[in-house]
Amino acid sequence: MSKFKELNKININTFSKMKSEGEKIVCLTAYDYTSAMILDKSGVELILVGDSLGMVVNGLDSTIPVTLDEVIYHCKSVKRASNRAYLVADMPFGSYHVSDEQAMENCIRVIKETGFDAVKIEGGKSKAPLVRRLTEAGIVVMGHIGLMPQMVNIMGGYKIQGRSGHEDMLEDAKALEEAGAFAIVVEGVVAEATTKISESITVPVIGIGAGAGCDGQILVFHDVFGLFDDFVPKFVKQYADVKTVISDACESYIDDVKASRFPAKQHTF
């Protein structure tokens, strides 16, 4: 049982305290009211509305086509269900790449329209000046380094990072920390590199496919609960097979309707 479970609302200071006390931070994605309500009540500390919604919700091949309006729509649904968890919105591809002014305008829009606590942007040293500007404007920022899905075309696919060294990623992490990022997601990175990064900076490192040496872990809702099997990454542990439960239940419903067993007397006015 987490000593932080009884907090009425997780805030930005909670995460630095959890890191200093050695308690792991639990994070998951959510994209709708019902999922967010379940996670919030279960005790998850951070909920991310990720641009992964493009793949697991909308059936796209990548996160790149996801729009800012789509992220805002899903964030509003998640916000209505969340009373305790810290809420972070993924800034989608193209929403912060044209200029710092564009990024500032879009991040302000997300925070104002959704009521979320923070935004997440991908990029290391090159994005540190933007992170600093956003932070100085009062916008809380989560960084993201390592495998960056929005840069998958440049990176040549979804390739594990850090095999040939991790000095560049360490520099990225330190630059984001100095710029004011409250936490940094490290994705698809060899475990040794992530451990070194976590030990070298004071802000929490949240891993996804990055080993156990992080300060916390995040996974995609549909992967964890077995709802999406078009592609299941090696680093995912499936904690339930909800897809099969729903499929079996749907077949039972079909059988009952076809056989006139539903609706029965107790289901009829």
Catalytic member of 45, 122, 177, 187: 187
Instruction: Report how far residue 229's alpha carbon sits from residue 211's, in angstroms, rounded to the nearest whole number.
Output: 22
Does residue 214 come out as left (phi exceeding 0), alpha (psi in the -120 to 50 range) or beta? beta
Half-sphere exposure of 50 (CA within 13 A, CB side): 25
Instruction: Report how far residue 210's alpha carbon sits from residue 77's, in angstroms, rounded to the nearest whole number.
Output: 29
- Which residues are within 8 A (CB) of 7 and not within 5 positions of it... i.e. 6 or more apart? 14, 84
Question: Which two three-digit tokens encode residue 263?
Answer: 């609706």
Closest CA to 119 of 106, 128, 102: 106
- Tell me the helices (H) and strands (E) count for the chain, helix number first: 11, 8
Peptide bond into 204 cis (omega under 30): no
Q: Verify whether residue 187 is a known catalytic residue.
A: yes
The catalytic site residues sit at 187
